[in-house]
Structure 1
């Protein structure tokens, strides 16, 4: 691979479950009006250098990606299965409390995908995007835990919570992957 490929990982906009602090995982919850506005704002924050819009197949990511694509005058989104959110097993739909604690395990929850599994799948997703869209600037709308764990695994850094509609950018060059921004903040400013 000799071409530079840049990937903007964007978390979907807010959903009703985000507003209620419910764990969504693979449960397919639509955006709310706040989430749609966040997606429109994300599109305004991006410049015209982006070529392709992709997304997780879940509706909250797909709708966010469609809003961003429209705002940038791009087609899409193309769905990429590897971009789907972490499977949180029995924790999906729960909020903090006794019921959630009853299904908590070290590093996850009963019947959930492990952090290592998510991180490995995230690297596969980045490699797929890099290889499929070599030399392009790719927007990939996904999910908070997926983005955080992918970046943690790739760069061996502790990542902050990924905010709704926030942009995190990675670049692949012949020297390998580099981290440009997380939640719109330059990587060198991360503490």
Structure 2
């Protein structure tokens, strides 16, 4: 089974460099156009369904893709919600965002928590969709950049760079383990080079 992890389209806060986290910000016109472009890329993937984070920027990206591809708009998964930046949401960071809370980011969600939620979500998607769609199915899951980056990094065992808006990142469940096939639309071997 394959899962296409897709970052939602652009929002005004993305454009302005603001931390969104769990704040529910809508897509802007660019984000809606990016969702249409993602649908064109996904058109030949044979998707059986598309699921998402419940935040509107992810859900609306998923809805646009589902309508264009005429596929089932499946469930939302709370574990796919973006990292909680707490008191820093809406701010433009002036320094690197740490993995763990610190003096500058005292109440952000720790990386370990975000990674655990992401891994739990892809396992739940696999366990829910596999009986419905079969072992050769491909499901799209629209969520958020940081959670995608942390999940891909966890699977690969090395850091993954920034995930672009509406970028498609492919993982595959095979022989009892996840493997990363692509990051930001490029083969995973290119990312590791």
TM-score by shorter chain over 0.5 = yes
- Alpha-carbon RMSD across the aligned residues, in angstroms, is 1.6
* 2:51 paired with 1:54: yes
Contact 2:155-2:179 within 8 A present in 1 as well: no
- List alignment gaps of at least 5 residues for structure 1: none
In 1, distance between residues paired with 2:98 and 2:5?
28
Report the CA distance between 1:142 and its aligned residue: 0.2
* 2:63 paired with 1:70: no
Q: How does 1:72-111 map to 2 (within 5 A)?
A: 72-97=69-94, 107-108=100-101, 109-111=105-107
In 2, distance between residues paired with 1:173 and 1:106?
29
Greater Cα offset, 20-29 or 73-82: 73-82
In 1, distance between residues paired with 2:93 and 2:2?
36
Q: 1:162 to 1:105 in 2, by over 3 A?
A: closer
In 2, distance between residues paired with 1:156 and 1:48?
27
Contact 1:62-1:77 within 8 A present in 2 as well: no
Q: How does 1:174-189 map to 2 (within 5 A)?
A: 174-189=175-190
- SS of aligned partner of 2:161: coil
Q: Tell me what 1:138 maps to.
A: 139
Q: 1:176 to 1:48 in 2, by over 3 A?
A: closer
Report the CA distance between 1:81 and its aligned residue: 1.0
Q: Tell me what 1:172 maps to.
A: 173
Question: After TM superposition, which residue ranges in structure 1, 4 or more long, deviate above 2 angstroms?
Answer: 104-109
- Please give the TM-score of this superposition, normalised by the length of structure 1: 0.91
Report the CA distance between 1:175 and its aligned residue: 4.3
Q: Deviations over 1:68-119 (max 9, x none)?
A: 111111121421111110101111000034xx89xx7663422211111111
- SS of aligned partner of 2:4: strand
